[in-house]
Amino acid sequence: MERIIASIITIGDELLIGQVIDTNSAFISQELNKIGVWVKRRVAVGDSKEEIVRALDEESRDTNIIIMTGGLGPTADDITKPVLADYFGGKLVMNEEVRKHLVYLFEEVFRRPIIERNLKQAEVPDVCTVLPNARGTAPGMWFEKAGKVFVSLPGVPHEMKGLITTEVLPRLQRRFEMPFIGHRTLLTAGVGESFLAEAIQHWEEKLPAHLKLAYLPNYGMVRLRITGWSTSKAQLEQELDTEFATLKKLVQEWLVIDEDATLPMALSKLLRSKNKTMSTAESCTGGYLAHLITAIPGASNIYKGSIISYDNEVKISQLQVSPVILQKVGAVSEEVVLEMAAGVLAKLNTDYAVAVSGIMGPDGGSPEKPVGTVWVAVGNKQKLVTQKFQFRFDRDRNIEMTATQALNLLRKFIVENA
Amino acid sequence: MERIIASIITIGDELLIGQVIDTNSAFISQELNKIGVWVKRRVAVGDSKEEIVRALDEESRDTNIIIMTGGLGPTADDITKPVLADYFGGKLVMNEEVRKHLVYLFEEVFRRPIIERNLKQAEVPDVCTVLPNARGTAPGMWFEKAGKVFVSLPGVPHEMKGLITTEVLPRLQRRFEMPFIGHRTLLTAGVGESFLAEAIQHWEEKLPAHLKLAYLPNYGMVRLRITGWSTSKAQLEQELDTEFATLKKLVQEWLVIDEDATLPMALSKLLRSKNKTMSTAESCTGGYLAHLITAIPGASNIYKGSIISYDNEVKISQLQVSPVILQKVGAVSEEVVLEMAAGVLAKLNTDYAVAVSGIMGPDGGSPEKPVGTVWVAVGNKQKLVTQKFQFRFDRDRNIEMTATQALNLLRKFIVENA
């Protein structure tokens, strides 16, 4: 079976002046990988006819699929559509289905008058198959030329994602003969990538050629993913199950969850399985812990709320932290996070709680408590445990690392004190 | 003056399987732009000799500068260095300065024994100028060929950033004669991209060729940026000031801030300028509002905290929301957000507050209150105003849109009730 190869072209001057970070390419790469398509290159070009045409020529040279995003908006700098019409030898025509969808969006959803400029978004090259965009105004477009598939999608991430999932992937799977692809993913915490690599080296070296291991490190956690491909689905699934079982044993000590889930998801699942609730008392993370938990659908079953005491006044009035202790040892201390945790457990009446206090930077550090100093307390009404962390990153990364470590500490507490 | 043009090549299989999001390219683009270099293309390729050589050939065809990142680590898949030695006709030799730096790092900083694999990082092609990497092990490398500059940098973001700032930009400025580049940016809210385009069309059409306008939409807000280039700095600054003043007048109705800042930054700045504080009472956004505000350095001057009442019990016990009203009209109602706002203003004793309650999905909707229904209250102890929103997105976007609209509503309240 021939390998199916893709290239991704992202279009827009905003990518070249560094105004936006391209997250679309990573999403598209992941999704294509899952159905067995190998992404060979990714190119970003500006809103220029010459550059778009050059990219189409070069990227289609030795690939089967070319996915484009961006340049489909209603403003003057969005030139992708006429360029594509020209490139594939067609002309722009009004598409009645898209026009109806546009009118519906403006009349029923946006409740704004539709103007000429918006209606032009219903014009598509007459040589493409329209991919309806339920989430927005610009439709996706599917072209074929010399046995290759070219897909143009809007650059707005959630519109692009909707089109990839509902239109592009199913069509590609029908259009090309793909191998079966299978994945097994687990999440570890508290161990570095190179140490992990050392621990599983012997097993990894013996993996058959059609199974590949990827290390996916992110904020103090490492995800491990086995990807396999084969013409026999049954055989592949069995091989994956066997190898995954071995891998799980090898990393048992650091295992957070044996599926493709994030730490907040793992914690939510754990709480749900025990029918327990949690709350947070946050200072330095300023609501980020709460956000990570509540971003997961169904959070209301396990999460009651948070008292964010960014100001010491709030620690005293809402969490009953002792002003004397605050005065004596400062807000970033073991004593204070213990009181915060006890305070929120009592106030919000939850089974578990996590409390954090630290210095995220860039200002606020001192020789005794430099930027990156963090205290975390986790536990229940019977028992609390604490841990001190010393990070050394910038503000954003310190907030992210604190949240990760705090949630993992709570997760471990729940597992060990069940 | 000839325009100086660059292309960026990022190297690594992890970019092609969607494992990591490329943030390096955006940073490099921004920094090159600031010194007057125009980035024409960005390409990501895998750890393959054939693909790296193809990218070097293609990207140097019509550019002056090629910046590469990645593929310089100590593991087997990092092949960039031998490929570059070969491409520029040199061979790998041990560099004494880099070797000393490596020994220093392992002995004094990492406090780990240095192994053969690490020492190999001190080998560089004998045809390059070494750019010392104070922040890490892999040095940067500067090559020249046929009047073009090629720079290879490590992919670790903070090492790459250090090298760009201290080594690459100053050397490029000495090597090439650059035009002056200037930007003016503003942020609007509450108006669509196409409506905005309509409102400023006449002005935009008359912009001189060396001034360009970019539309940067994001979650119900649109940033507008004018970029200009010229050989005369004084003339360019004056032109930019004049055009920016006109643009500001044209978009006055929707103007959030007339600088390159986010909505949370604009709100923080406004509060700081008035020496006022705020708090949040969040239900459906679950801490995300608080996070947006506290992610900004110095938030403690304007932000006291939040009561996140994800559970109705917490609304009653911590925010004094009436159980009778909750029972009668439900948590997602004007009455409840008014009580939440009043509750948090009293409890945390702040000048302003914002309260939100809504249904973010995917579950929890009903015919009367479908997913995406949100009530927001903002104000101070004297006056509160409310607004109902109806979003129609997925959970993540509903949280993002709710936060944007709620913060903007508070910002407008502060401006109008000063």
Q: Quick: pLDDT tens for A292-310.
A: 999 999 999 999 999 999 9
Q: Give the one of B197, B306, B314 whose C-beta lies nearest to A287's C-beta.
A: B306
Statement to judge: residues B68 and B191 lie in one domain: no
Provide mean pLDDT across the span A27-31: 93
Over 80: is that where the pLDDT of B116 sits?
A: no
Q: Is A28 on the interface with B (CB under 8 A)?
A: yes
Statement to judge: residues A122 and A151 lie in one domain: yes
For chain A, give the mean pLDDT.
93
Q: What are the tens digits of pLDDT across the range B13-62?
A: 888 888 778 889 999 998 998 888 989 999 999 989 999 999 999 999 99
Statement to judge: residues A150 and A279 lie in one domain: no
Q: What are the tens digits of pLDDT across the range A184-201?
A: 999 999 887 777 888 898
Locate A211 and state its tokens: 């199974």
Over 80: is that where the pLDDT of B121 sits?
A: yes
Locate B397 and state its tokens: 């976007």
Instruction: Please count the helices (runs of H) and the strands (runs of E) in chain A.
Output: 16, 17
Statement to judge: residues B153 and B8 lie in one domain: yes
**Residues of the domain holding A21:** 4-175
Q: Is A214 on the interface with B (CB under 8 A)?
A: yes
CATH of the domain at A410: 3.90.950.20
Chain A (44-103) residues lying within 8 Å, Cβ to Cβ, of chain B: 44-46, 51, 55, 58, 73-77
Measured CA to CA, the distance from residue B79 to residue B96 in angstroms comes to 21
Over 80: is that where the pLDDT of B400 sits?
A: yes
What is residue B118's predicted lDDT score, i.e. its pLDDT?
80
Q: Give the one of A29, A110, A304 whose C-beta lies nearest to B310's C-beta.
A: A304
Statement to judge: residues A327 and A387 lie in one domain: yes
CATH of the domain at B33: 3.40.980.10
Contacts of A135 in chain B (CB under 8 A): 393
Locate A257 and state its tokens: 């969850």
**A175, A202, A235 — which closes off a domain?**
A175
Q: Is B199 on the interface with A (CB under 8 A)?
A: no
Q: What are the tens digits of pLDDT across the range A339-384?
A: 999 999 999 999 999 999 999 999 999 999 999 999 999 999 999 9
Our CA-based measurement puts residue B237 at a distance from the nearest CA of chain A, in whole angstroms, of: 19
Q: Give the one of B225, B290, B318 whose C-beta lies nearest to A287's C-beta.
A: B290
Statement to judge: residues A150 and A188 lie in one domain: no
Provide mean pLDDT across the span B211-216: 85
Task: Give B106's DSSP letter.
Answer: I
Q: Nearest chain B residue to A218 by CA: give it.
A: B20
**B257, B277, B306 — which closes off a domain?**
B257
Q: Is A5 on the interface with B (CB under 8 A)?
A: no
CB contact under 8 A, A17 and B40: no
Contacts of B31 in chain A (CB under 8 A): 18
Provide mean pLDDT across the span B172-190: 91
CB contact under 8 A, B310 and A294: yes
Contacts of B40 in chain A (CB under 8 A): 16, 45-46, 51
CA distances to A167, A373, B125, B158, B159 from B104, rounded to whole Å, are 55, 26, 22, 19, 17
What is residue B76's predicted lDDT score, i.e. its pLDDT?
58
Chain A (230-289) residues lying within 8 Å, Cβ to Cβ, of chain B: 280, 282, 285-289
The SS3 of residue A217 is strand
- Count Cα neighbours of B35 within 13 Å in the Cβ-side half-sphere: 19
Contacts of A14 in chain B (CB under 8 A): 214, 216
Bin B320: left if φ > 0, else alpha if -120 < ψ < 50, else beta: left
Measured CA to CA, the distance from residue A99 to residue A97 in angstroms comes to 5
Q: Give the one of A17, A291, A311 whose C-beta lies nearest to B288's C-beta.
A: A291
**B257, B280, B305 — which closes off a domain?**
B257
Locate A141 and state its tokens: 């477009």
Statement to judge: residues A239 and A115 lie in one domain: no
- Count Cα neighbours of A289 within 13 Å in the Cβ-side half-sphere: 36
Statement to judge: residues A133 and A204 lie in one domain: no
CB contact under 8 A, B395 and A33: no
Contact by Cβ (8 Å): A360, A371: yes
- Between strands B65-69 and B148-153, the pairing is parallel
Our CA-based measurement puts residue A193 at a distance from the nearest CA of chain B, in whole angstroms, of: 12
- Count Cα neighbours of A400 within 13 Å in the Cβ-side half-sphere: 10
Q: Is A308 on the interface with B (CB under 8 A)?
A: yes
Q: Nearest chain B residue to A216 by CA: give it.
A: B19
Number of structural domains, chain B?
3
Q: What are the tens digits of pLDDT across the range B313-334?
A: 999 999 999 999 999 999 999 9
Q: Environment class of residue A111 by beta-carbon count within 10 Å: exposed (0-12), middle (13-18) or buried (19+)?
A: exposed
CA distances to A27, A399, B411, B417 from B407, rounded to whole Å, are 29, 21, 6, 15
What is residue A213's predicted lDDT score, i.e. its pLDDT?
87
Q: Is A19 on the interface with B (CB under 8 A)?
A: yes
Chain A (140-179) residues lying within 8 Å, Cβ to Cβ, of chain B: 156, 158
- Could you tell me how far CA B243 lies from the centroid of its own chain? 25
Closest CA relative to residue A51, chosen from B208, B38, B193: B38
Testing the interface with A: which of B278, B310, B317, B349 to mutate, by most A Cβ within 10 A? B310
Residue A183 pLDDT class (50, 70, 90 cuts): confident
Lowest mean pLDDT among A75-79, A146-150, B286-290, B409-413: A75-79
Closest CA relative to residue B305, chosen from A165, A388, A260, A310: A310
Give the highest mean pLDDT range of A106-110, A118-122, A274-278.
A274-278
Measured CA to CA, the distance from residue A77 to residue A29 in angstroms comes to 26
Over 80: is that where the pLDDT of B6 sits?
A: yes
Measured CA to CA, the distance from residue B1 to residue B111 in angstroms comes to 51
- Residue B178's H or E segment, with its range, is none
Q: What are the tens digits of pLDDT across the range A215-247?
A: 777 777 888 989 888 888 899 999 999 999 999
Over 80: is that where the pLDDT of A392 sits?
A: no
CB contact under 8 A, B311 and A299: no
What is residue A218's predicted lDDT score, i.e. its pLDDT?
77
Statement to judge: residues B323 and B247 lie in one domain: no
Rg (CA), chain B: 27
Statement to judge: residues B210 and B240 lie in one domain: yes
CB contact under 8 A, B286 and A291: yes
What is residue B74's predicted lDDT score, i.e. its pLDDT?
67
Measured CA to CA, the distance from residue B345 to residue B365 in angstroms comes to 29
What is residue B77's predicted lDDT score, i.e. its pLDDT?
63
Amino acid at B96: E
CB contact under 8 A, A18 and B30: yes
Q: Give the one of B39, B51, B363 whose C-beta lies nearest to A16's C-beta.
A: B39
Q: Is B132 on the interface with A (CB under 8 A)?
A: no
Contact by Cβ (8 Å): B384, B355: no
Q: What are the tens digits of pLDDT across the range A314-343?
A: 999 999 999 999 999 999 999 999 999 999
What is residue A77's predicted lDDT score, i.e. its pLDDT?
66
Residue A1 pLDDT class (50, 70, 90 cuts): low
Provide mean pLDDT across the span B110-130: 86
Statement to judge: residues A186 and A306 lie in one domain: no
For chain B, give the mean pLDDT.
93
Q: How many A×B Cβ pairs under 8 Å?
A: 274
Q: Nearest chain A residue to B390 by CA: give it.
A: A109
Statement to judge: residues B246 and B276 lie in one domain: no
Give the ipTM: 0.84
What is residue B194's predicted lDDT score, i.e. its pLDDT?
82
Locate B293 and state its tokens: 């505000």
Q: Is A399 on the interface with B (CB under 8 A)?
A: yes
Provide mean pLDDT across the span A172-176: 95
- Count Cα neighbours of A134 within 13 Å in the Cβ-side half-sphere: 10
Over 80: is that where the pLDDT of A2 sits?
A: no
